[in-house]
Amino acid sequence: MPTMRIPLDAIKALREETGAAVGTVRSALEEAGGDPAKARELLKRKGVEAAQKRKDRAASLGRVESYVHHDGRVGALVEINCETDFVARLPEFQQFCREVAMQVASQQPSVVSKEQLPAGQRDAAVIKQACLLEQSFIKDQGQSIGQLLTALIAKTGENIVIRRFTRFGLGEQAGQ
């Protein structure tokens, strides 16, 4: 069966939207019969699958990023690891680190993932508020930090891990 001919402008538009490689975008559009919405879902599913395959790979390089709010009353430090120095220098990785630091300062998560919560505190409301990966991204409420992380893993082809964070607020007690 011959492959469907996909217009270049459709490939370009979906590539700009998702950041996926041209060949990957083309094959997703072909598999979806030219439907961009279906292709977007295919790319998302493939990104999640790729992230799952990479989660056990060592991520010991990366970046420590800071964010201090313009009034100087709140700030955050985050450590985000990746597999290579090359990825740590990518603008997309650095932007992700800045946005995660801003998220921590703004939304005050207490843990990175729900697995770090005590078993008795794992109801949906607590998880959504306390777990960084489960929180809605402050700049796009339609995505969680975990979804942004998965998309970055799919785009870079490396395991990326939010290792730890800390938040400081003037007048707040330690642990608040």
Kindly report, residue by residue over 60-82, the tens digit of the pLDDT: 899 999 999 999 999 999 999 99
Question: How many other CB atoms are found less than 10 A from the CB of residue 65?
Answer: 22
Its domain, for residue 50, covers 8-54
**pLDDT at site 3:** 63
Residue 2 lies in a domain: no
Residue 44 lies in a domain: yes
Residue 3 lies in a domain: no
User: Quick check: 96 and 132 in contact, CB under 8 A?
Assistant: no
How far apart, in whole angstroms, are the C-alpha atoms of residue 143 and residue 98?
16
CA angle, residues 106, 164, 127, in degrees to nearest 5: 60
pLDDT above 50 for 55: yes
Residues 101 and 133 in one domain: yes
Domains identified in the chain, total number: 2
Stated pTM of the model:
0.74
What is the tens place of the pLDDT at every residue in 101-141? 999 999 999 999 999 999 888 899 999 999 999 999 999 99
Residues 48 and 109 in one domain: no
Q: At which of 36, 54, 72 does a domain end? A: 54
Residue 93 lies in a domain: yes
Residues 32 and 93 in one domain: no
Residues 29 and 74 in one domain: no
